[in-house]
Amino acid sequence: MLAVQPRRWLTRPKGLIIFAFTVATLYWLMLHSSRRYGDVIQDNPAEVANETPEQPVIEEIGEEDENGNHVPSFEDKMKEAQDEQQEAIRQQFRLEYDQLGRQRGADAIYGKTLNTLVTNKARSRSFEAQLTPADTSSYFTTHKPYVYNPYPEHMQHIKGGLYVPCEGPEGEIVSDIKVFKGVPKDFPEPLIGGYDVLDMDGDLCFERETRLGMYGFQNANDTSDPLVNWDKVHWGTLQQKCVIKNKARFDLQGKPNPYVNTVYSDKTTTPFIGAESDLNLQDTPKGRYHNDDLRRDSSTNQRPMSATSSRPQDAESRTAILLRTYTGKDYNENDKQVIRSLITELSLRTGGLYQVYLFVHVKDNAYAIWDDEGTYQYVLQQSVPVEFRDIAVLWNDEAVQAMYPRIDPSKANVHNAQWLSVQKFIQEYPEFDYVWNWEMDARIIGQHYDFLEKLSSFAKKQPRRGLWERNERYYVPSVHGDYDTDFRKEVETLSGEETIWGAPDFPFITPVGPKPPVERPEKDDYRWGVGEEADLITVAPIINTNFSGWVGANDVWGFNDSSHATQNLPRRVTIVTHSRISKKLLDIMHVENLRGNVIASEMTCQTIALLHGLKAVYAPMPMFFDRPWKGKDIVRWFNSGERGDSGGDNSAIGWGREARYGGITWYYRAGPPQRLYNNLMGYEDTKIGGEEWEEIHGRPCLPPILVHPIKDVAPTESGYQSESRLPFG
């Protein structure tokens, strides 16, 4: 059941602290009660709109007693009580985590191999049809591998229709990877998210050689020559040829941003404080020499030569995969193998449905890459492996700062506003309907096409009623039950009437999303939004930042008028920016940034989608833990908000509380991803893995999982242990 969990740490026998905390809470609520939208009008919002709120000034400051000793003020006591309460929470989590580490099932996600594969689970006909026995067996296991083909019927290498198969690196029609049926014995079920909710086959096990062998993987003790000379491969050319073959399926021109000239004008909206005007947003500035286009004439990144003015009536949507990388990165062999697999499985195998780019941040603005082609090519050759140079798109902070002159340059950088470069990309590559912002240190242990399509299919099926409320909490199947019935209803019960239904009403925002078909969500029978593609897909909750303690919650500038201060803007955040974004959302983000409105990267897509009434979906992918938590405890620690959500003053994303994520498979400094992946690749990590270990226990394999972060995949020394470096807590 989705219920508000009791906070057991507040029952500790510290009466004085509890009393102090209660008083502090009442005082804090009194201070903040007037900060909600519409309660008060700021005396001088032009001065305070863009300032980070400071601690309130308390007149009753500390005094000295008759002996000259400092007497703590009420504010001092309040802060001390809050600090002690937070430390008590941290201690309670550490205690429970350590206790679970001594129980059966601790570290059950590690060390599972093909030797203990359980293969007797029934699978649906559709899943079974995707598996064909391989022609050859594997020397390292008695289990038979299967060719895995999750592609739809019209992509089955048959002649006829609009789909045309594409060639791989050696001129052959691309083939599919191999996989094993089943999951190793005692491998746990995902505690968060799942396979059934995404209609994904989770009863599969991926092993390194059958998964990555066709992309160049070789075991450390294999000294034979590679089967392919990868330096002779040009992935950009292969992708472009593939798209041209399938041109009848796609709109290869795209449409320009429809919002620049239409949404805002001095007659339709109130400009925010500090804006000069909303006129002439269409006059997008260029760099110093007007040549800072990402799309280069000499590159295969230019629009396909066969693109004409004709547009297919039922054009299929295309998605760009932007692999976020930078100058100075050392591409290890695993990086290269993963990039090859992304291109093959998402682009070549689908006939151009996806297209993969290396999106290279040139850190040093001293390189005048926009001034002459020679400098551009020099940086490209120094920064990108030869096989990927014709899929690389270079950009730097100078180009995005020139594009958004109303944004303070100190805010227009990759740390505060990483979406500016993606927005510039979609303005120049309008033929794409969606963009995956792809973290280079993320890995799909599974088949790329199947995983991404299952996320997008789930998002497309979601009704808008109650969607923002479902988005803001982790889905824990063992507690929440069926996603579309039990979970949906109980979230609405907990949320009450405080639900989001369409775009909020602010005079400085003109929403571009659709208006609700009925006045109240209760009048909609979960139909609005079903079949509508999501403008934003995240793989973690979309959390209300209010009182969450997240460090970037106040990083917002603009978004105000004479009645609304910047810091009162409703905001949403997802930790880790790995997500799919529609052209529609990127286009309106571009317009808001042209106006000078800026918000921290982790909040940008989520908040703009909220303000403009666009469809955002958290897709509950399977997440695993290294401890045998019970579902109710996952809810207590990760959905600790007052309404069972992931926000609030005990949010796991708050500073000092992020250690709760140390044992999960998806968070920006979680421990299990690196350890799992090292073992999977045949490397020792924390006394598991490596050649000698595998001779006894067998080859590691894992079910489909998206893991993050993965750093520096390379052979390890004996005794090596990877570690999580989350902030204190």
pLDDT value for 290: 47
Those residues whose C-beta lies under 8 Å from the C-beta of residue 624, and which sit 6 or more positions away, are 109, 188, 190, 191, 664, 665, 672, 705
In a domain, residue 689? The reply is no
Q: Is residue 708 part of a domain?
A: no
Whether pLDDT at 372 is above 50: yes
Contact 86/725 with Cβ under 8 angstroms? no
667 within a domain of the structure (yes/no): no
pLDDT at position 289, please?
A: 44
CA distance 334 to 212: 9
Distance (Å, whole) CA 409 – CA 404: 9
Q: Are 578 and 565 part of one and the same domain?
A: yes
> Tokens standing for 315?
């054009």
Return the ∠ at Cα 383 (arms to 380 and 388), rounded to 5°.
70
Domain assignment present for residue 61? The answer is no
Q: Which of 288-302, 364-378, 641-655, 669-683 has the lowest mean pLDDT?
A: 288-302
pLDDT the model gives residue 237: 98
CA–CA distance, 404 with 528 (Å, rounded to integer): 35
Residues in the chain: 729
Q: What's the confidence (pLDDT) of residue 11?
A: 37
Looking at the fold, whether 468 and 500 belong to one and the same domain comes out as yes
d(CA 99, CA 654) in angstroms, rounded, equals 24
pLDDT at 220: 84
Name which residue leads in pLDDT, 362 or 29.
362
Do 536 and 640 share a structural domain? yes
Let me know whether 538 and 630 are in one domain.
yes
Nearest to 681, CA basis, from 654, 638, 711, 652: 711
* Amino acid 257: pLDDT: 97
Q: Is 159 helix (H, G, I), strand (E, B) or coil?
A: coil
pLDDT at 17 over 70: no
- Residue 547 pLDDT > 60: yes
Confidence of residue 162 (pLDDT cuts 50, 70, 90): confident
> Residue 223: what pLDDT?
84
Instruction: Specify the pLDDT at position 266.
Output: 52
552 and 588 housed in the same domain: yes
User: Look-up: residue for tokens 């040093």?
Assistant: 364
Whether residue 528 sits in one domain with residue 443: no
- Which spans in 417-536 are helix H? 419-428, 448-461, 467-471, 477-480, 488-495
For the chain, give the percent of residues with pLDDT over 90.
Answer: 77
Asked if the model's pLDDT at residue 1 lies above 50, the reply is no
| Lowest-pLDDT range of 78-82, 431-435, 470-474, 546-550 | 78-82
Question: Which residue shows structure tokens 């989608």?
Answer: 609
Decide if 439 contacts 576 (C-beta within 8 A): yes
pLDDT at 414 over 60: yes
* Distance, C-alpha 72 to centroid of its chain: 44
Residue 275's pLDDT band, with cuts at 50, 70 and 90, is: low
Q: How far is it, in rounded angstroms, from Cα 85 to Cα 549?
A: 14
The residue-averaged pLDDT of 275-291 equals 52
Residues 624 and 642 both lie in one domain: yes
CA 713 from centroid of its chain's CA atoms: 21
Residue 494, number of CB atoms within 10 A of its CB? 18
Mean pLDDT of 232-258: 97
For residue 611, the one-letter residue type is L
Per DSSP, helices labelled H in 49-184 are 74-100, 125-128
Any domain includes 327: yes
Task: For 92-104, give the DSSP string.
Answer: HHHHHHHHHTTST
pLDDT category of residue 10 using cuts at 50, 70 and 90: very low
Q: Between these two residues, 5 and 28, which has the higher pLDDT value?
A: 28
d(CA 41, CA 565): 9
Residues 506 and 589 in one domain: yes
Mean pLDDT (whole number) for 401-415: 92
The pLDDT of residue 296 is: 72
Share of the chain above pLDDT 70, in %: 84
Question: How large is the average pLDDT for residues 106-121?
Answer: 97
Structure confidence at residue 279 as a pLDDT band (50, 70, 90): very low
Token reading at 132: 């064909």
User: Within this chain, do residues 367 and 304 fall inside the same structural domain, yes or no?
Assistant: yes
Lowest mean pLDDT among 157-171, 258-272, 568-582: 258-272
pLDDT of 59 above 50:
no
Whether 26 shows a pLDDT value over 50: the answer reads no
The helix/strand/coil state of 580 is strand
Q: What is the mean pLDDT of residues 128-156?
A: 95
- The count of domains in the chain is 3
Q: Cα separations (Å) of 684 from 105, 223, 602, 672? A: 21, 20, 34, 14
> Among 100, 117, 144, where does a domain finish?
100
Of the listed ranges 246-255, 274-283, 477-486, the least confidently predicted one is: 274-283
Together in a domain, 413 and 463: no
Instruction: From 276, 286, 275, 293, select the one nearest 402 (Cα to Cα).
Output: 286
Question: Higher model confidence: residue 436 or residue 304?
Answer: 436
| Dihedral of the alpha carbons of 599, 602, 607, 609, in degrees to the nearest 10 | 120
Query: pLDDT for 211-241, tens place per residue?
Result: 999 999 999 888 888 999 999 999 999 999 9
Contact 525, 651 (CB under 8 A): no
Do 599 and 513 lie in one domain? The reply is yes
pTM of the model: 0.89
Range of the domain at 94: 1-29+72-100
pLDDT of 277 reads: 47
More confident residue, 53 or 154: 154
The confidence score (pLDDT) of residue 278 equals 47
User: Using CA atoms in the order 210, 215, 220, 221, what is the torsion angle rounded to 10 degrees?
Assistant: 70
Contact in structure between 400 and 420 (CB atoms under 8 Å): yes
Pairwise pLDDT comparison (383 vs 36), residue with the higher score: 383
Tokens standing for residue 195: 């396979």
pLDDT in tens, 464-512: 999 999 999 999 999 999 999 999 999 999 999 889 999 999 999 999 9
Q: Is the pLDDT reported for residue 47 higher than 90? A: no
- 59 is a domain residue: no
- Tell whether the model's pLDDT for residue 43 goes beyond 50: no
Whole-angstrom distance, CA of residue 283 vs CA of residue 594: 10
Start-end of H helices in 101-146 = 125-128
Give domain status of residue 604, yes or no: yes
Structural domain includes residue 294:
yes
- Do both 404 and 513 map to the same domain? no
The pLDDT score that the predictor gives to residue 313 is 79
Per-residue pLDDT tens digits for 300-355: 566 655 554 467 778 999 999 999 999 999 999 999 999 999 999 999 999 999 99
**Stretch 148-177: mean pLDDT:** 87
C-alpha 657/C-alpha 644 separation (Å) is: 17
- Taking 80 as the threshold, does the pLDDT of residue 42 lie above it? no
Q: What is the pLDDT of residue 636?
A: 98
Which residues on neighbouring strands pair with residue 147, listed in sequence order?
A: 132, 178
Q: What is the CA radius of gyration of the chain?
A: 27
Higher pLDDT, 280 or 83: 83
